[in-house]
Structure 1
Amino acid sequence: MHLKISASRFPLAYLLLIAPFFLWGTAMVAMKGVIPHTTPLFMAGVRLLPAGILILVAAALMGRSQPKGWGAWLWITLFALIDGTLFQGFLAEGLVRTSAGLGSVMIDSQPLAVALLSLWLFQERIGFWGWLGLGLGVSGISLIGLPDELIFHLLGSGVNVTIGNWQQLFASGEWLMLLAALSMAVGTVLIRFVCRYADPVVATGWHMIIGGLPLWGVSSVVESQQWQNLATSDWLALGYATIFGSAIAYGLFFYFASSGNLTSLSSLTFLTPIFALLFGNLFLSEVLSPLQWMGVFLTLISIYLINQRDNLAVSKKVTLAEATANQQPILEASNAQKLSPVTLAVRESEPEVLP
């Protein structure tokens, strides 16, 4: 794992790395029953504003410093508008307008954008194994999220996919999910610049508050009946999504993103639909198809390849070096055998020097 964490010093390090994606996946399951009873922008604001306050309270208890200077607040505001307002707004509106499966595929494709941005801005090495892992990851979440009928149709029809098919595919909100994925990818990269001026945990809290205010502002103007139809179970689901799916999950994610390898960390996003499917099966009796199980398998392989890409590359180099070293004595012996007759012949042909 290309992140600045020592498992020997912190035994729960790897569990904490996976925790944000586990919490996001389970929060999606919790939110499924809430969406019909509320409005998308109000729900997005609920996930941000209270969570931001909780993070700032926790940061104050930990003694973390508040942002200072115009530079810090400008970066935090930009971070808030992109990763807070735009990401949560596009995500909430997209969930209402698109199918859960296709929407999940598009939102969880953001590791590709993060990898390209990290390669461009921070020169993070991806390599053959990394690109292979990213490709397998997108294939895996596609098998998980896309309907089986669509997959079989695309595989069986070959080029029989017209422009009208694609227009119909993106007519119900998928572009909003794609914009949400791009917003999250840019936000993941922005945290590196934000942390040059502010503490990552404090910046995460403020970005959720600043990013959530416009969502509630727009909701108060264009939406109605935001909370009147919410039952007790809905408020409990919102509470879980706010505390665990936002405050804890985003606090951990952006803390790791502030110092670790962004491509490796972002690749763990592929775990989110897996957790959503598994807990949907457990609590909502949703059944996984064989194609979805194949997608789970490919996704796990992709995460391993991305996070172990440097080790795999080094192992390959060591193997080649060992093979070269083993072949060297053979070549030397072979060359000696080839040269020895020539040497003997030259020595035999030398004239004797008489005393």
Structure 2
Amino acid sequence: MRRRTEKSPIIAQNVSRAQRPVIVVLGTVTVMFLWAICFPLIATGLEFSSPFYFAGMRAFIAGVSLLVPCWLLGRPAPVGIDVWIMLFVVGLTVTSMGFFGMFLASEFIAPGLATVLANTQPLIAALLAYVVLSERLYSRSVIGIVLGFVGIIVVGLGANNNDDGTMAVGIIYILIGALGVAMGNVALKRLAGKVDVPTAMGWQLLIGSVPLLVLAGFMEGGQAVTWSVSFILSLVTVSLLGTSVAFVLWFWLLQYNELNRLNVFSFLTPAFGLLMGVAFFGESIGLLESIGIGLIIIGILLANVRWGR
């Protein structure tokens, strides 16, 4: 049987049991940083492209960049109708739904704040993991989830005090994307150990790119992209580093760790995102937004950190 492939856990074969926790921490922190750079790159790219074309091209390029090397190296293709169904679920949630929310929100929200709001997905994922995967949900996790969503409301109130209300639209888009990523992470956990990691990620990205490119064709027409050096650099970087590398590394980590344990590190992504937003985009954050951001980060920590046995 090739269905449970031995090719995927490449890293696991080359590190000792003592080294694995260090590898997991370094790998997870790397993923969080790569995801944090996505919103700044998207904000830059949207100056030259409409959102659906940009999102669809990101997913398509990332998918092809994984599938071509997998084919050349002879890595095993996904096998079984149940596996393909889950790949379609992941593609339509993590990629189609996640990118839909992420790229549309970037037209209304500054990159740093967008990164914070997008990373409420671990709070949603904690609930879904409890219901679908039977992972434990402690009382402090419930408190963390409540705090996180109160934080979203506070950020929204602060945003409405500072603009004409368009940021509220962006917050809705962000939450749609976060819901998609959370649902997809649960589906990814069900695929763990059944597929070759880079091949599976390549297929789900390719599958997820189709609805985005179809929407681009119908809604944005044929004049949606102005090709420039800045746009090409943004597109290539967000496609390869922010998508291909990050997704493969994340799925590999999911195979050997509980979803909630990995999500402990998710507070790093909004922290990285805020630092980049302030440093490179001149973002200023008001009092209410600061309180809301603090509640969200505390909520993420409470919902996912295991305090003792």
Class of the TM-score when normalised by the shorter of the 2 chains: 0.7 to 0.9
Change over 3 Å in CA distance of 1:178–1:283 after alignment to 2: closer
Whether the 8 Å contact between 1:137 and 1:303 is mirrored in structure 2 is yes
Which position in structure 2 is the counterpart of 1:93?
104
SS at match of 2:37: helix
Whether the 8 Å contact between 1:277 and 1:288 is mirrored in structure 2 is no
> 269, 277, 287: which is aligned to 1:280?
277
How far did 1:187 drift?
Answer: 0.4
Residue 8 of structure 1 aligns with an amino acid whose one-letter code is A
Structure 2 Cα separation of the partners of residues 29 and 137 of structure 1:
23
- Residue 188 of structure 2 corresponds to residue 191 of structure 1: yes
- Residue 127 of structure 2 corresponds to residue 116 of structure 1: yes
Residue 207 of structure 1 aligns with an amino acid whose one-letter code is Q
Q: TM-score, normalised by structure 1?
A: 0.69
Change over 3 Å in CA distance of 1:301–1:60 after alignment to 2: farther
Which position in structure 1 is the counterpart of 2:245?
248
| Identity over aligned pairs, percent | 28
Which position in structure 2 is the counterpart of 1:8?
18
Of 101-110 and 234-243, deviating more is 101-110
Whether the 8 Å contact between 1:141 and 1:273 is mirrored in structure 2 is no
Whether the 8 Å contact between 2:53 and 2:212 is mirrored in structure 1 is yes
Residue 226 of structure 1 aligns with an amino acid whose one-letter code is A
- Residue 55 of structure 2 corresponds to residue 55 of structure 1: no
Structure 1 Cα separation of the partners of residues 112 and 209 of structure 2:
26
Residue 158 of structure 2 aligns with an amino acid whose one-letter code is L
SS at match of 1:230: coil
- Residue 248 of structure 2 corresponds to residue 237 of structure 1: no
Which position in structure 1 is the counterpart of 2:94?
83
Structure 2 Cα separation of the partners of residues 6 and 133 of structure 1:
34
- Residue 158 of structure 2 corresponds to residue 150 of structure 1: yes
> 268, 274, 294: which is aligned to 2:265?
268
Which position in structure 2 is the counterpart of 1:340?
none
Of 54-63 and 241-250, deviating more is 54-63
Whether the 8 Å contact between 2:145 and 2:303 is mirrored in structure 1 is yes
How far did 1:17 drift?
Answer: 0.7
Cα offsets for 1:204-233 (capped at 9, x unmatched): 110001111232232123213222x23211
SS at match of 1:203: helix
Larger radius of gyration: 1
Structure 1 Cα separation of the partners of residues 90 and 117 of structure 2:
21
- Residue 210 of structure 2 corresponds to residue 213 of structure 1: yes
Structure 1 Cα separation of the partners of residues 160 and 224 of structure 2:
40
Aligned-residue Cα RMSD (Å) equals 3.6
How far did 1:47 drift?
Answer: 1.6
- Residue 50 of structure 2 corresponds to residue 39 of structure 1: yes
Structure 1 Cα separation of the partners of residues 125 and 166 of structure 2:
25
Residue 229 of structure 2 aligns with an amino acid whose one-letter code is T
Whether the 8 Å contact between 2:36 and 2:115 is mirrored in structure 1 is no
Change over 3 Å in CA distance of 1:253–1:62 after alignment to 2: farther
How far did 1:45 drift?
Answer: 1.1
Change over 3 Å in CA distance of 1:265–1:59 after alignment to 2: farther
Gaps of 5+ in 2: 1-11
Structure 2 Cα separation of the partners of residues 268 and 135 of structure 1:
19
Whether the 8 Å contact between 1:271 and 1:299 is mirrored in structure 2 is no
Change over 3 Å in CA distance of 1:53–1:291 after alignment to 2: same
Change over 3 Å in CA distance of 1:286–1:127 after alignment to 2: same
Structure 2 Cα separation of the partners of residues 201 and 295 of structure 1:
37
Whether the 8 Å contact between 2:66 and 2:201 is mirrored in structure 1 is yes
Which position in structure 1 is the counterpart of 2:76?
65
Structure 2 Cα separation of the partners of residues 296 and 94 of structure 1:
17
Gaps of 5+ in 1: 154-167, 315-355
Of 285-294 and 32-41, deviating more is 285-294
How far did 1:89 drift?
Answer: 1.9
Cα offsets for 1:297-323 (capped at 9, x unmatched): 6666555555541xx342xxxxxxxxx
Residue 173 of structure 2 aligns with an amino acid whose one-letter code is L
Change over 3 Å in CA distance of 1:281–1:62 after alignment to 2: farther
Residue 182 of structure 1 aligns with an amino acid whose one-letter code is L
Residue 193 of structure 1 aligns with an amino acid whose one-letter code is R
Which position in structure 1 is the counterpart of 2:200?
203
Structure 2 Cα separation of the partners of residues 59 and 295 of structure 1:
43
How far did 1:275 drift?
Answer: 1.0
